[in-house]
Structure 1
C-alpha cells in the first residue's frame, strides 16, 4: 500500500489530538508526519506511536513534500491553505473559511462522496452539528424527500475547545465548594460578556447576525443545503450550549414530501453506513452523550411520527462532535481519496 506524507495543522488542540488518535487507531497509511501549530505551541514534544515529534511553527514552507494536510480549524486555515495547495498538498480543512466557497467541496463521505473529485486542492469539513444532522437526514431524504427541517441542538462544551472544558470543570468545583463561578470563555471568548455554563444552558453559539440568528445556526442552514444539494428545503435552527463535556445532541423535526412511517424510517436509518439506531422506548433505550462519546457512529432514537403536520417525523440524534463531527470525518475524506485513487503521489 502507498504511504502518504501527512501534516496536521493545529496538532496540539482537541481536534489535532483526535487526528493522531484516529490515525493510529485506523492504521492510516502515513509515511512522514509533520505536527504544526502556532508559534506559542511550537517546541512541544508529542509522543506518537512510540516516536517523539517536535511540534513546528507553521509557515508557508511547512507543506513542502506533504500529500495530505489536515487542518484542525481556526484562522490559520485562510493563511496556510493556499500555501499548502501551492506545494501540491490536498488540504482537508475543519474551519469555516472555505465551506461556502462554490469552488470547494463540502463533504460528509457517507452523504456526498461524489463531490470530492471536484476539489481544486481544498476540501472543506462541515460544521460538527451539520455533519451529525446530515448523517441522519440523508437516508430519509433519499426515500421520501425532505421539505422542511426544524432543529434544536444541545452542544457540548468541547465544541468550544479545551478552555471551555476547563471552565466547566472549574465552575462545577467552585459551585460545589460554595465559591463564585468565574466565566471567561462562553458563549465565546471574543465576546464582551460571558456566562456560567455549569448547571445552565446558553442559547447562543457564535455571534448573532442581522436577523437574530447566530452564525452557528446559519452554518447548519447553509451547509445542509450545500451538502444535500437541495436549496429548496426549508431549514430553521436553534443552537444551545449545554454543560456536557462531549457529544452533541439534536432534536430534529422534519416534514417530508411523501408518507414515511416511523418503522420505515428506522429501517432506512439502520441500513445507512455510520448510523446506529437506538430506539426502544419500552426498554428506555435512546442515544445519550454519556454513551456516544468517543464513538465513531451517529446514533438516532426517539423516532416517531409527528401528527401535527402531514408526513412529519421527529428524531433525536447524538454524535461525538470531535470524532465524526470533526477529525474522523476529515480522515474519512482522506481515506476515500486513497481508496478511490484520487490522490497523486
Structure 2
C-alpha cells in the first residue's frame, strides 16, 4: 500500500515538473521579460529569441489583447479607376450610384449600370474591349476584378503584417470584399493603421553604380571596425592580485565596484557595442550591386543604417541614396539589399496603360 502511494506521488511529481518545464518559456516570454528585454534579445541573439518564441504558447486576443481590423475593398473607387473615356454622363451616373448605395444596401455595379442606361450610355463605352462587348460580360469582368483585388490585398497585407513581428497573425478573407486581420499583443493602434492603410505606389529607382555601392559598403565596414576597436580600448584588463586573503571590505565592496564600473560605461556605447558587429553584410559574388545580409542580422543592420554617422557616409559617397531591402533568397538564409537613388525616376502615376508583350533573348 505504502509503495503504491509513493509510486503515485512520484508520477504526480514528475508531471508537475514536466508541466513547469514546458510552461516556463511561456511565462518567461509573456510575463518575466519586458518589451525592452525582448528587443535586446532579438537584437543580440536572434536564434535564442526565435527558439524562446517557438517554445512559448501563443496567446490569442482574448488572453493578451491586441487589435481586430476589418478592411473592405472600395468597389466604387475600383470601378472609377478602371473606367476609360470618362465624360459628364459617367460622372453624374457615378455620383448618383454612390449616393444610392450609401443609403441602401444594393450592389454598386448593378446600380451604376442602371444609372448609365438612364442617361443613354452603356458599360461598353467605358469598360468595353475587343473581347468584352456584352453587358453581362463586362459586369462579370468588373466583379472578378473586385475579387482579385481582395486576393492581391491579402498578399500585400501579409507582407505588411510581418513588420510587426506578431507570431501567428490571423489574416483571412470574409465574403467577397472583406479582409479580417487579428494581431495579438499589438499595443500601438496608430502604427497599425498607418502601415496597413498606406497606399501602394509603383516606383522605378535607378541602382547606384557598382563602384559606388562597393565604396559605401567598404566605408561602412571600416567605420564599424573602428567602433569595435574604440569599444575594445574602453575595456581595460584587471590587475592580478593575491586572492588568498579576502578582507570584509573587499568582500562587501566587490558589488559596489562592479556597479560603479557599469555606471561609468556610457549607455550609448553599450548600444553601439551591441549593434556594430563585423560581417553584418557582404557582397554577392555574382552581382557587385547586391549586398547579402544573413537573416539573423536583419534587425541589427536596420538599426545600424539609422545611425547618423552611417547616413553621413552614404550621403558623402553616394549622394541622395538609400538602401532598399529585397526578399529572402530561395534558401531562406539571406536578404538582398540594394543602394538606389532616393528620388524615383518614374512612378505609377506617369504610366497611363501597360500591356504584356513577349520579348527576345536579347531584348526581354
TM bucket normalised to smaller: under 0.3
Kindly name which structure, 1 or 2, has the bigger radius of gyration based on alpha carbons. 2
TM-score normalized with structure 1 length: 0.25
Structure showing the higher strand proportion among its residues: 1
TM-score normalized with structure 2 length: 0.24
Greater RCO between the two (CA within 8 Å, min separation 6)?
1
